[in-house]
Structure 1
Amino acid sequence: MAKQVLFVQGAGEGAHARWDSKLVACLERELGETYAVRYPQMPGEDDPHYSAWRAALIREFGSLEDGVLLVGHSIGGTILLHVLAEHPPKAGLGGLFIIAAPFIGEGGWPSDDIGGRKDFSERLPPSVPIYFYHGADDDVVPTAHVQLYAKAIPHAVIRVFDHRDHQLNNDMSDVARDIRSMG
């Protein structure tokens, strides 16, 4: 049976179909047939609201299997982290992989919609491997945000790539390698 991967898209007009679909296609290619990537379209991608995305993610969590691997891109990664801290799924997580996510709170971006969190380390299961990825040439989310996550979640693995943009140049090989390392 294929290992389950849930990919949470980023935001912006056409993000699901035109942008993050390239990340998903690369991830599927890199992982091969032993993984099944689910890629639901999030509501209102051009103007995301935390409450709507939280509700959609909680619905998705209902069909997850033990060992599921969660991947989130950009604001989708940010929202995924916040939802996991508030409403962890019943299924045991195999790993969490966050790409180019903005940090909400002190030093990061302000948000009237998403509250800043300082308790990620206490709220996320300590046994779940967490990886953050960021392109050094990201012109959407500054690399300082990944360093804020490193402070908030000290046990997370941080990977910053030279000459990679907000979409990691549509190259998910490093993410796939870390996913495969989960066994």
Structure 2
Amino acid sequence: MKWRDGEAGQGAGEGVHDRWDNKLVASLERELGENYAVRYPHMPCEDNPRYAAWKATLVSEFAALEDGSILVGHSVGGTILTHVLAEQPPKVRPAGLFIIAAPFIGEGGWPSDDIDDGKDLSQRLPPGIPVHLYHGAADAEVPTAHVHLYAKAIPHAVVQTLEDRDHQLNNDLSEVARDIRSLG
């Protein structure tokens, strides 16, 4: 029985879908159990992500979602997912947005030639969507300051900085799964 669909977005880098982020997806599937179906699309040019190409893939994936679907993104995939959701939300109403170790684009964060500044994300995201942000305190890829920049840009977000966890949250998404299940 499928209770709720979810969409999991990958990070960026050569082979990341099959060698890194698949471990996050496996953890999420294991922690959520069989009442959840996780979709994990392969993003184009993962070693050199471009917003337009990833946006096209995400918009296509959005078309397959049902009301109450949950969106999960990691690293650059989380950044792009958040911006696409703010720019072109799905026709259905997502139950929540869960972003892990995502770089913030804008002042104090990282620059981007093809992603807009994230300072006004709160006004652009679908109204009422719960947002959860996670970041490992031992993340050597994306500084922890980025999750705090997201917290300023999305004041209603629930923020968790996890001690002794790396960029992949040590391949343990138990907190994310717990929070997804709490949506009911």
**What is the TM-score when the length of structure 1 is the normalising length?**
0.98
2:37 — aligned with what?
36
Cα distance in structure 1, aligned partners of 2:159 and 2:112: 24
Displacement after TM superposition at 1:114 (Å): 1.3
Unpaired segments ≥5 residues, structure 1: none
Q: Are 2:121 and 1:120 aligned?
A: yes
Q: One-letter code of the match for 2:80?
A: I
Deviations 1:78-126 (A, max 9, x none): 0001101110000111000000000000000011121213221111123
Displacement after TM superposition at 1:127 (Å): 1.3
Q: Once superposed, which parts of structure 1, at least 4 consecutive aligned residues long, lie more than 4 Å away?
A: none
Identity %: 69
Q: Are 2:134 and 1:133 aligned?
A: yes
2:130–2:157 contact (8 Å) kept in structure 1: yes
CA RMSD between the two structures: 0.7
Cα distance in structure 2, aligned partners of 1:84 and 1:140: 24
Q: One-letter code of the match for 2:95?
A: G
2:136–2:167 contact (8 Å) kept in structure 1: yes
1:71 — aligned with what?
72
Equivalent residues, number: 183
In the TM superposition, 1:56-67 aligns within 5 A as 56-67=57-68
1:2 — aligned with what?
3
Deviations 1:19-76 (A, max 9, x none): 0000000100000010000001000000000000000000001110000000000000
1:109 — aligned with what?
110
Q: Is the partner of 2:160 in helix, strand or coil?
A: strand
Q: One-letter code of the match for 1:36?
A: A
2:104–2:118 contact (8 Å) kept in structure 1: no
The more displaced of 33-42 and 124-133 is 124-133
